[in-house]
Amino acid sequence: MGEYLSVMEDRNLPVVSGASATVLIIGAVGDLGTTGLALAQGFRKAGIRCTIFEKHESLHAQPRDWNMGLHWGATALQGVLDCESWDKIQTVHVDPSAPVADHDVLKFINSMTGEPMSEIHTSKFYRLRRSKLRSLLEHELDIRYKKVLKNISMSGDGRTATVHFEDGSSYAGQFVIAADGARSTARQLLLGKNKGAVRRLPYAATFVHAKFTAEQALYLRSFHPLYIAGIHPSGFFSFFGMHEAEDPDRPETWTFFFYISWKYSLEEQDSTAGWSNKQRLDQVKSFAKDFCDPWKSAFEWISDDHQVWYMGLTDFDPGSKGHYWNNHGGRVTLAGDAAHAMTYQRGQGLNHSVTDAAKLVNAVTDAVSGLSSQATSISAYEDEMIARAGGEVRLSTINTEMLHDWERVLASPVLTSGMKHKHK
C-alpha cells in the first residue's frame, strides 16, 4: 500500500472514467468481505446502481477460510437478499445436512479439567462458511477486481465523490461506501493515518484447520456437533468447531476449525513477528499440552508441519474522541469492520456488519428518493451505527480482557449476556 493521502477537493483533477453508478463500494471479497457484498445485494434489490471495487484479483483469491456465527443479524441479512438467495442460506452452513436448530446451546467448559462452566442459549444460530457465503452473495453484481483504493476526492460542486486506485483509474459516484475491513485505507484517508489506524491489543491467537481420521473426527465431534468454547485457568481462551461437513457419512472428509488465544504483550508480539509456521505451531501445541480434549488430542494429532495462522487482536472504536469522520455532505461513509473493528470472542462483528448494510441501503434509498437529504440520511445512519457498534467494540474488548483473566472470567459479557446484542 502506498502512502496515505487525506481526502481532498478535486477541482484540479483530471477526467474521471466510468462514472456511471450511484453508489461506489470499496471492498468485497478478500479476507471475508461480507459487508460490501451484502450492501451491493441490498442496492440490487432496491434498484440502485452500484459498483464494487476490490483489491484482490478474483472472488477466491484468498485461500484462507473460516466460519462465523450469525444470530441477531440474520434478519438484516435476510432483508438485503432476494428470497431465492436467503432460501439457500442452509447450503452455506458448516454442516448443510443438519438444519439450523431453532434453539441451540453453546457450551463453555474449563479447558484444563473439562468441567462445565456455563451454557449460552441461542435461537437460530447460523454458523456460516466464509467462502460459501461469499459465493452466495456475489451473483449478479458489478465487481471490479484489482482495484486498490489510494485516495478519495470531493467535487467542488458538493455533488459527487471520486475514488482513485493504485492502477491510475478513478470513478465518481453520488455515494462512496468504504467496507474495506479492519485496516481500512478509506478510514485513514478520512481521519489521518494515526487516528484512522486500528489499535493493537495485547492479545493474540493461533488458528488451525484440520482433517482427521474417521475415528478421530467422530471422537472430536462428540463434544458438540458444531462448536464448544473453553476457558483455561492459566489465561487462555479456546474454540473448537466444525468447519465443513459436506458429507455427513464420511468423517474423514470433515474439516475442523479451532484456535487458542492468549494475553500477549505488544513487545512479545513485535519480538516474535518474524516467527516461522513451525515456531507458531510449536508454541500453540505447547499451550495445548495442558488442555483437556478436544483441544489436547486435536493439537497432538496434527503433524509438526501443519499450516497454522496467527493474528494479533485489534480494535477501532468509532465512538472514541477524534474518530468522527467528515462525511462531506453524506458523500462518503464507512461500514462493517472499516467502521468498527472488534475482537471476535463475543461473535458480534458480522452481525453488526450486515446490520450496517441493511440500514445503509435504507439511508441511501431515502436520499435517492428525496425522502430526506443525502447529508441528513447518511449522518443519521452514522449516528445510529456509531452508538450501536461503538458500544459493541468497547464491550467486546472488555470481554476479551476478562476471558483471559481467570479471576474475572465469570463476570465477562459473553458469560453474563451471551451473544445477545448489547442493546437488547
Ligand X SMILES: Cc1cc2nc3c(=O)[nH]c(=O)nc-3n(C[C@H](O)[C@H](O)[C@H](O)COP(=O)(O)OP(=O)(O)OC[C@H]3O[C@@H](n4cnc5c(N)ncnc54)[C@H](O)[C@@H]3O)c2cc1C
Binding to ligand X in span 234-253, by CB under 6 A = none
Q: Which of 24, 39, 40, 55 binds ligand X (CB under 6 A)?
A: 55
Residue 30 or 418: which CB sits closer to ligand X? 30
Does 171 bind ligand X (CB under 6 A)? Our answer is: no
Query: From CA 260, how far away is CA 237, in angstroms rounded?
Result: 6
Q: Are strands 149-154 and 161-165 parallel, antiparallel or unpaired?
A: antiparallel
3-state secondary structure of 76: helix
Count CB atoms within 10 A of the CB of residue 337: 31
Name the minimum Å distance from CB 12 to ligand X: 23
Q: Which of 43, 50, 54, 302 binds ligand X (CB under 6 A)?
A: 54
H helices present in 127-213, as ranges: 130-137, 185-191
Does 34 bind ligand X (CB under 6 A)? Our answer is: yes
CA distances, 159 to each of 22, 119, 218, 366 (Å): 11, 52, 59, 16
* Cis ω before 294 (30° cut-off from 0): yes
Looking at residue 254, the DSSP 8-state letter turns out to be -
Cell of 334: 464507512
Does 68 bind ligand X (CB under 6 A)? Our answer is: yes
Residue 227 or 299: which CB sits closer to ligand X? 227
Return the range that interacts with ligand X (CB under 6 A); candidates 77-85, 89-97, 144-152, 405-413.
Answer: 144-152
Query: From CA 412, how far away is CA 118, in angstroms rounded?
Result: 11
Interface with ligand X: number of residues (CB under 6 A): 36
Binding mask 250-289 for ligand X (x = CB under 6 A): ----------------------------------------
Query: The cell 471520486 sits on which residue?
Result: 162
Binding to ligand X in span 300-339, by CB under 6 A = 336-338
Does 185 bind ligand X (CB under 6 A)? Our answer is: yes
H helices present in 143-294, as ranges: 185-191, 214-221, 266-271, 277-288
Query: From CA 123, how far away is CA 241, in angstroms rounded?
Result: 18
Does 32 bind ligand X (CB under 6 A)? Our answer is: yes
Q: Which residues of 287-324 are buried (b: 16+ CB within 10 A; e: fewer)?
A: bbeebbbbbbbbbeebeeeeebebebbbbbbbbeeebe
Does 30 bind ligand X (CB under 6 A)? Our answer is: yes
Name the minimum Å distance from CB 31 to ligand X: 4
Does 36 bind ligand X (CB under 6 A)? Our answer is: yes
Return the range that interacts with ligand X (CB under 6 A); candidates 61-69, 92-100, 275-283, 322-330.
Answer: 61-69
Q: Which of 66, 72, 236, 262 binds ligand X (CB under 6 A)?
A: 66
Does 347 bind ligand X (CB under 6 A)? Our answer is: yes
Residue 154 or 339: which CB sits closer to ligand X? 339
Return the range that interacts with ligand X (CB under 6 A); candidates 77-85, 248-256, 294-302, 345-353.
Answer: 345-353
Binding to ligand X in span 351-390, by CB under 6 A = 351, 353
Residue 328 or 352: which CB sits closer to ligand X? 352
Q: Which of 23, 26, 231, 357 binds ligand X (CB under 6 A)?
A: 26
Residue 207 or 251: which CB sits closer to ligand X? 207
Contact 190, 247 (CB under 8 A): no
Return the range that interacts with ligand X (CB under 6 A); candidates 242-250, 279-287, 344-352, 359-367.
Answer: 344-352
Q: Are strands 175-178 and 23-26 parallel, antiparallel or unpaired?
A: parallel
Residue 243 makes CB contacts below 8 A (sequence gap 6+) with: 65, 66, 67, 94, 129, 209, 254, 255, 256, 257
Query: From CA 200, how far away is CA 313, in angstroms rounded?
Result: 6
Name the minimum Å distance from CB 201 to ligand X: 13
CA distances, 58 to each of 28, 143, 170, 220 (Å): 10, 9, 20, 35
Name the minimum Å distance from CB 1 to ligand X: 7
Does 27 bind ligand X (CB under 6 A)? Our answer is: yes
- Give the up-direction half-sphere exposure of residue 4: CA atoms within 13 A in the CB hemisphere: 16
Binding mask 146-165 for ligand X (x = CB under 6 A): -xxx----------------
Residue 38 or 367: which CB sits closer to ligand X? 38
Q: Which of 28, 208, 302, 395 binds ligand X (CB under 6 A)?
A: 28
Residue 43 or 66: which CB sits closer to ligand X? 66
What is the contact surface with ligand X in residues (CB under 6 A)?
Answer: 26-36, 53-56, 66, 68-69, 147-149, 179-182, 185, 336-338, 344, 347-351, 353
